[in-house]
Structure 1
């Protein structure tokens, strides 16, 4: 168990009693892999600090009732401090010197175990050093986040440029494809027109109306005239011509 990868946390707790109008900020960091440090200050006249060893943190895990492994407890500890429900309870207040101690209380969510860290007040040089350390760490955290933000923006800009270039390339290819399809259709049309010998004959919508009749009805043969000397003079009688044609 160690705190080698512990990243510093910063936040603003809600102060109790709420009659204290000056805001406080807190920092939780690991000055070395075997120790956790909590600093709370108003950057004016009141600064608190607590140091917890690995063994003391393990005892805190048993006191809060958080099960699981050591890494599970650290994750719960960090999540609770980042939840936004963090309170600074001032204790042992004096009218002349102010509070002598305090507790930093954090809860992941309603109904979950509370993390509570007892703090002692620092005075003189120790208080000044704690405030200076918190300010420096906060500035470094700000610069680190700023660099990450700039890198993210640069990455987004690169992706935007790549997307724009791909869209332009896609549009150019689409134009080429449309031109090729049009050219192929025109070639097919020209070839069909050349084969038929009549421009547009295959594409005329009234083709059937203009086509001549292919099978006209045969002409009737004229009736055969019987010679006068063979005509019958008997009225009402039907004569037959027995002569072969």
Structure 2
């Protein structure tokens, strides 16, 4: 893996003063990147009068790896170095006299108890410091634009997704409404069919029990019961004993 393929790091290291005197009150920005396929470059500055730099070749990094005692592959080692520098425990250690910085080094470790990365920094002055600050500012601006573009693209995707979700929600609501209307129609049809069946049943039962239909049989029955027997047929009623008139007179 070439060092230029490493993702650049921007950060704000913690500042510690190791010598007598007081540390500068300014805040510092850290910039780490692959200067070319075989060199790693580190720049630390407060954008005022304190700017430091360190350039390490692949061979120098291999020697540091042996000194620290980190095994594994080369890519794993570089991943550890970059992760350590990106950690919240990365520190800028300043050494010097009263209000004067003589030496500076970057100290970092991925987490407590793991190997410590320590890289000495060289102070830059004049045009070299200005060039380092200008390059850092430009790269920082590029990184900001890249993040801003990614954020804008993410917003656009989010907006499209929101619109798609709204359209899908509206479509589901329409389908739900249609289903409810269909269910109501089916229910009304069942109620209507049931009502018609009940009415038909009542009509059929009413016709079967209608007084008009029963009247003929009742009238006929009444006529039979109330029919008067003619007088000439009454003498033929069985059980009547007829006597001779002469016998009656004798008696």
Pairwise same-fold verdict (TM > 0.5) = yes
Larger % of helix: which? 2
Distance 1:77 1:195, change over 3 A: same
Aligned to 2:93: 89
Give the Cα separation in 2 of the matches to 1:70 and 1:187.
Answer: 78
Q: CA deviation at 1:3?
A: 1.3
Question: Given that residues 48 and 101 in structure 1 are in contact (C-alpha distance below 8 angstroms), is that contact kept between their aligned partners in structure 2?
Answer: no
Q: CA deviation at 1:66?
A: 2.2
Give the Cα separation in 2 of the matches to 1:22 and 1:39.
Answer: 16
Q: CA deviation at 1:132?
A: 0.7
Give the Cα separation in 2 of the matches to 1:85 and 1:35.
Answer: 24
Aligned to 1:76: 80
Query: After the TM superposition, which residues 53-132 of structure 1 pair with which residues of structure 2 at under 5 Å, given as runs?
Result: 53-91=57-95, 93-95=96-98, 98-132=100-134
Tell me the alpha carbon deviations over residues 49-108 of structure 1, each in whole angstroms, 9 at most, x when there is no partner: 1111111112222222222111111211121111111111113x2558x32321101111
Q: CA deviation at 1:198?
A: 5.0
- The number of residue pairs the alignment matches comes to 200
Question: Given that residues 9 and 33 in structure 2 are in contact (C-alpha distance below 8 angstroms), is that contact kept between their aligned partners in structure 1?
Answer: yes
Aligned to 2:240: none
Give the Cα separation in 2 of the matches to 1:115 and 1:72.
Answer: 14
Aligned to 1:142: 144
Question: Given that residues 193 and 199 in structure 1 are in contact (C-alpha distance below 8 angstroms), is that contact kept between their aligned partners in structure 2?
Answer: no
> Mean Cα displacement is larger for which, 59-68 or 33-42?
59-68
Larger Rg: 2
Secondary structure of residue in 2 paired with 1:197: helix
Give the Cα separation in 1 of the matches to 2:151 and 2:81.
Answer: 26
Give the Cα separation in 2 of the matches to 1:77 and 1:153.
Answer: 33
Question: Given that residues 68 and 115 in structure 2 are in contact (C-alpha distance below 8 angstroms), is that contact kept between their aligned partners in structure 1?
Answer: yes
Query: After the TM superposition, which residues 156-195 of structure 1 pair with which residues of structure 2 at under 5 Å, given as runs?
Result: 156-195=158-197
Unaligned runs of 5+ in 1: 201-245
What's the TM-score, normalizing by structure 2?
Answer: 0.74
Give the Cα separation in 1 of the matches to 2:70 and 2:166.
Answer: 51
**Structure with the larger RCO, 1 or 2 (CA within 8 Å, 6+ apart):** 2
Give the Cα separation in 2 of the matches to 1:7 and 1:64.
Answer: 23
